[in-house]
Structure 1
C-alpha cells in the first residue's frame, strides 16, 4: 500500500483532535494500526474525569469514510461514534466542572429557575464553551454561556421531572457532561437549591446562598453562606455572613471504609490542624450518613469565608494533594470569631464516592441558624444522580401532649469523676427544660457504674432530685461498667429474662414509653470483669428492645461505649470539656425526645422541604416555640406553645428521595 494513502492512528484512542498529525503525535511504532486512507478512526474529544458517562474519563471515538479526503471526519462523514472509558484515573487528569447549581431544584409550575455551571480549562486557558440540552424534550437549546435560565411550563404537573444537560468543552477539546433533574413541586413545600455532582444530587435549605462565583480547581460540589432569608439582618451578629460551608463529592483516598470511619478520619484531619481544637457534642449514624456536631475553637480569629476555604482545602478536595484555583470572595465588613459550631457529615457510597457536608457558624448565633445547619448536614438531602423525588403528606391527630419518655442515667462514681458529675448536675436543668418544652411526660432514673441501685427516690420528674442524683460521689469501684449495670437494671422476666432489674422492679420503662440510656464515664467500660464474657455491641438487650444509648465518654479510650451508642441509634459526645455539657445534654434531649414522638413520618424527608400545619395554620420551624425534625428517629417534635392540643389536625408535607441512599 502506498504510504501516501495510509492513515496512522493510536490503538489507545486517547489522542485529541481530528487531524492526521494530531492523531500521530505521541504514538510509538507499536501503538499504530495501518488502514485505508478513506476509512478513518479519530478521537473526537477526550472525556474528563467525573463525566456522567465515564467516572475516570475516556474518549469519544468516531469512525467513517473520509469522502473528501481532507484528513478529517466532517460531521456528515461520521458513520459511528462510541465512548471508550478509562478503567482508572490517568495521571494528571482532572475534571472541568467544579459546580453545577439550580436556584430551585423543586420549582412550581410557571417558576423561573437559573442553572449555573462553574468550570475551568484543563489546559490552563479560558476558552470554555457550553452546550445546553433539554433531555426531557430532546431539544438542543440556544444558550451557549455558563448560565441557563428556564421557565417551568404552566402546564407542568406536580411530580413531573425535567432534566437539563450541560456539555462543557475546553481549548484542548476535553469535554465533560453533567445533568440536573428538576421536580415540579407543590407551593406548600419549601424550595431548595439543587446541586449536581459527579454521582449525586444534593439539596440546600432555603436561606443558604450559593454564590455565582463558585470554587474552581480540584473540587466537585458547592460552597454556600448564610443567605438574606436565613435571618433578618438586624438579628445577625456582625455581618450578613455568619455561616459558611460546603457540600462536595470526593474519594476517600484509602482512609475510611464506611461512613463512620471516614468521618473519624476527616475529623482527625481537622482537629490536628495547627490552631484548631474540636470537642464532640454529638456524633451519630443515621440511615444514610455519619453525622457529627462539634465545638470548634481557633487560636486566631477567622471569618466564615476564610474558615470555609480552609476546610475545603483540608477535607473537601477530590484529588489527593489537590488545590483550588478560585474561591468566592469575602463580603465587606465580614465578622470573625475564634469560636464556631462545626457540623461534619459523611455519606459513604464506595471508596471512590464519598459525599462530605460541612457547615460552620459563629458560636454566639448558632441557635438562630439551627434549622439551616441541621438541614444541610443531616444527610437527608443527598440522593444519587439518577434518583427521583416524590411528595408526601402525613396526617396525625394531636393528643395534647408529646408522649411518654423514660431515661436511665448511668454515672461513673469512681475517684476521677468529681468535676464531670458537677457539670452534669449543672446541665440537668437545661436537659429537663428541653424535655418539658416538648410536652413529654418524662421520668429520670440514675444508677452508677458499679451497681444497679437507683439513687435518691428512684425515677423522678423533679429537677432538684435529678441534680442531686447526678452527683454520685467518687468513692465507687474502679471497675467501671455502665453497660453491665444498665443491662442488669433493665432485665425483665416479662421479656424472658431470668430476673427483674432495679428499673423493672420500680415499674420502668412505663407501658407505651420510650426508654433512653445515658452513660457518663471517663474510662473504658469493663463489662467482662463482671459478666465473665466480652460484650457484643451488635447483639444485646439494648438493641433487642430498641433502647438508644447516648455515651458521654473519653473518646481516646471509649471501650464499647461508642460502638453501643452508634449501634442503637444513639450518639457519642466528649467528656473532656465540661463547659460543653449544656450543649451535649441539649442534643441528647432533642434526640431522645424524637424517640418518644407521636409523629413518626412514613418516608425519610429531605428535611429542609418540611412544612407543618396544625388545624390549617403553618407552624414555624423553631427550637423554642415550633417544631424540629429529628433524623435519628425520623420524627417531628413540637416545642413550647406549638405543642398541638388534643384533637388537633396535624399535616406534615415534604419531598423525599425515592432511591439512592448511602450505606452507613
Structure 2
C-alpha cells in the first residue's frame, strides 16, 4: 500500500511544505538537507467513506509525528498522534458509503438473551476483500468476530432499560473505511421484541416476525429489505413466507421543493402511480407523528410476485440518491405467488432535503387482513428515531367500563347530479362501517346532511344500519355549488361555545356530552366555501380544529383544496372517491380511526406500536382487528373489539417501549 505522506519543515527554515505519495525534497539543496532538523510528517493511513459515524461527508485517518531518522517515512516508533480529519461538506470528494444495511435481529433482548447483528457492505474497488471489526462502543471492548455477522449475549447483570451501542468498522481493499453504530435497549418479556435497522442517521424498528435476510441490497441503498417471516402470522394461515415484502430506507428527497413529510409523500405516491401498469387507489392518507402515512390498493396489469414488486418499488423510491445502481437484490422463492392486486402501505418522514426515511410494505390483497398488524407496525409513523434516540418502557393502567366510549358522526354527502354511483356505494358500505363501530363496543350516533344544506336527513341522528343506509343516499337533485365544509360548520355551530346561533346538529343534541365527534365528507368536486360565506375558509383557524373534530374526506384527489387540507389539519385522513369498489375498506379505515378518538384508553406516551403488549386482569390479549385490540396512531389510543372489550372493573395494563428522545421533524 502506498501511504500519502505530507512533509512540513519546522519553522525558521527555508524549505517549502510538500505533499506526495512518496516523499522527496523540493527546492532544497543537499546542503540544506544536511542542516535541516527532523521534519514533521503527516501520513494518511485510511480514507473514510461518506455516511460514517464519525464524519458525515467522509474524511481520513491520519498519523502525525517527527521523522527523527530522516528517512522520509513515518515509522511506527515516530508516530506521536493519530486522528480523524473530517471533510467539511459533500463538495469534498469522498468515497461512497460502503455499508448499505446494519440490522439487529432483536433490538430489545433481555438480560442473558442473545441476538444477531448483520452488516452488508461492498468493496469500493470492486473486489471482495472487505474486513469487519466489531466492538461494544459502550464498554469500549472489541470482539474477536471478523465476519459480517456477530452474535452477542446481553450480560445477566444488565438492567432493563440499559442502552448498549455496538459498532462495526468496515475496511475494504483500497483502505476505505466506514463505521456504523447500532444501539440496543435491554428489554423484558413485558414488551414485544422488534428488529432494528440502523441507517446513517436513524434507527428503524420493525415488528416481530418479519425476516430481514442476511444478504441485503448493495450500492445506492441505506436501509433494509424485509419479508414475512416464520412468526409474522400462524403458519397454517400463510401461503408463502413472501406473502409480505417491503423495505425501510434513508434517502435524499425526491423533490427539491419538498419541505415537509406530506410534500415528499405526494412525490413518492405520484412516482408510483405514474408507473406504467400500476393503478393506485388511496384508501387512507393521514399525518402521524409528523410522518405522512397511507394505505393504498395497488392493481397491476400483469401478475407479479411480492419479491419482484418490492424490487421495482425499491428502484423507484428507495434508492439513497436516486442516481446510483442497486446490486445483490433478492430473488423470488419457488413457492411465491404472482398477484394482480396488492395492499400497499407507505410512510414518509421528512427531516431535511438530504434526510428522508421511507417505509413501504406490500401484501397480496387476498391475505392482507392476516398481516394487518404487522404491516401497520411497519408504516404507522411510530417506529423511526435518530441514531442517538433512547427507548424507555412504560406501563399505562386503566379500568374497564364494559363499553368503548361514546362516538358521534356527522356525514356530509354531495347530492349534486354526478353522485349517484358514489351514494349507492356508500349506502352499501354502511353496514361495514357500523359493524366496525359496534364491534368496538362504542355507543354511537350518526347524522347526515348534504353539501347544499345543514338539514339533517331522515329522522336525524341514528344508530340503525338501515336508516343510515337510506340517509347516505339523499339523491342527486341538489345544488352544483357544493360546500361540505360550509354546511358541516353551520350544522355544528353552538351558542354554548360562543357562536351566534345553534346549528342543526347542536339543536338535535349532538355531539353528546362526553362523546367524540367525527366529520365524514364525500364529494367528487372541490369545496366552494366562499360561494356561501363572505370569506375564504381558513384551514388552520376554524371550528373543526378548535374543537378537535377530525375530518375524513372521501374526495376526487385530482382537485386538491379545502377538503384534503382540512382533513390533515384536524388529524383525520383522505381517501379516493374514484374507485367505489374500495368503499368498504375506506369506511372500515374511517371507522377504525374515528373509534380511536372515542377510546377511553389514551396512552401517556407515543409508543413504538410493535412493542405494545396488552393484558386484561393479568391475561395477555392478542392484537386483532376483529376480536382483540388495535393501536390507533392518530389518537394514540388502544381500541378493543369483539369479545375482547374489557368488562366493567377489569384491570387493563398496556406496556410498551417509546422513543424518549425522538428527533424533531
TM category, shorter? over 0.9
1:540 to 531, 539, 542: 542
Instruction: Quote the residue 1:50 is aligned against.
Output: 51
Q: How does 1:3-42 map to 2 (within 5 A)?
A: 22=21, 38-42=39-43
> How many residues in Structure 1 have an aligned counterpart in Structure 2?
642
CA distance in 1, matches of 2:125, 2:185: 36
Q: Using the TM superposition, give the Cα deviation of residue 615 of structure 1 relative to its aligned residue in structure 2, in angstroms.
A: 0.4
Matched, 1:444 2:432: no
Does the 8 Å CA contact 1:255/1:265 hold for their aligned counterparts?
A: no
Please list every run of 5 or more consecutive structure 2 residues that lacks an aligned counterpart in the other structure: 9-17, 28-32
CA distance in 1, matches of 2:76, 2:370: 58
Q: 1:447 to 1:45 in 2, by over 3 A?
A: same
SS in 1 for 2:21: helix
Between stretches 415-424 and 70-79, larger displacement belongs to 70-79
Q: 1:70 to 1:118 in 2, by over 3 A?
A: farther
Q: Deviation per CA, 1:204-252, whole angstroms, max 9, x where unpaired? A: 1001000011111110000000001112332123x22100000011110
Instruction: Quote the residue 2:13 is aligned against.
Output: none
Q: Using the TM superposition, give the Cα deviation of residue 89 of structure 1 relative to its aligned residue in structure 2, in angstroms.
A: 4.9
Instruction: Quote the residue 2:434 is aligned against.
Output: 432
Q: Using the TM superposition, give the Cα deviation of residue 92 of structure 1 relative to its aligned residue in structure 2, in angstroms.
A: 7.8
SS in 1 for 2:532: helix
Q: Deviation per CA, 1:525-560, whole angstroms, max 9, x where unpaired? A: 000010021101111100000000000000010321
Q: How does 1:107-126 map to 2 (within 5 A)?
A: 107-126=109-128
Instruction: Quote the residue 2:163 is aligned against.
Output: 161
SS in 2 for 1:113: strand
Does the 8 Å CA contact 1:347/1:662 hold for their aligned counterparts?
A: no
Q: Deviation per CA, 1:43-81, whole angstroms, max 9, x where unpaired? A: 222211111122222222332123455544345433232
Q: How does 1:363-382 map to 2 (within 5 A)?
A: 363-382=365-384
Q: Using the TM superposition, give the Cα deviation of residue 661 of structure 1 relative to its aligned residue in structure 2, in angstroms.
A: 3.6
Instruction: Quote the residue 1:590 is aligned against.
Output: 592
SS in 1 for 2:351: strand
Q: Using the TM superposition, give the Cα deviation of residue 472 of structure 1 relative to its aligned residue in structure 2, in angstroms.
A: 1.0
Does the 8 Å CA contact 1:523/1:557 hold for their aligned counterparts?
A: yes
Q: Deviation per CA, 1:556-607, whole angstroms, max 9, x where unpaired? A: 1032100000000000000000000001000000000000000000000000
Matched, 1:275 2:277: yes
Please list every run of 5 or more consecutive structure 1 residues that lacks an aligned counterpart in the other structure: 1-5, 10-18
Q: How does 1:513-528 map to 2 (within 5 A)?
A: 513-528=515-530
Q: Using the TM superposition, give the Cα deviation of residue 130 of structure 1 relative to its aligned residue in structure 2, in angstroms.
A: 1.0
Does the 8 Å CA contact 2:23/2:73 hold for their aligned counterparts?
A: no
Does the 8 Å CA contact 2:308/2:331 hold for their aligned counterparts?
A: no
- Please, what TM-score do these two structures have when normalized by structure 1? 0.94
Q: How does 1:43-122 map to 2 (within 5 A)?
A: 43-69=44-70, 71-80=72-81, 81-90=83-92, 93-122=95-124
Q: Using the TM superposition, give the Cα deviation of residue 24 of structure 1 relative to its aligned residue in structure 2, in angstroms.
A: 7.8
CA distance in 1, matches of 2:585, 2:137: 48
Instruction: Quote the residue 1:196 is aligned against.
Output: 198
Q: How does 1:147-186 map to 2 (within 5 A)?
A: 147-186=149-188
SS in 2 for 1:60: strand
Does the 8 Å CA contact 1:133/1:165 hold for their aligned counterparts?
A: yes
CA distance in 2, matches of 1:174, 1:541: 59
Does the 8 Å CA contact 1:107/1:183 hold for their aligned counterparts?
A: yes
Does the 8 Å CA contact 2:404/2:442 hold for their aligned counterparts?
A: yes
CA distance in 2, matches of 1:70, 1:172: 25
CA distance in 1, matches of 2:372, 2:235: 16
CA distance in 2, matches of 1:24, 1:177: 30
SS in 2 for 1:543: helix
SS in 1 for 2:236: helix
Does the 8 Å CA contact 1:525/1:558 hold for their aligned counterparts?
A: no
CA distance in 1, matches of 2:603, 2:571: 17
Instruction: Quote the residue 1:14 is aligned against.
Output: none
RMSD over aligned Cα, in angstroms? 1.9
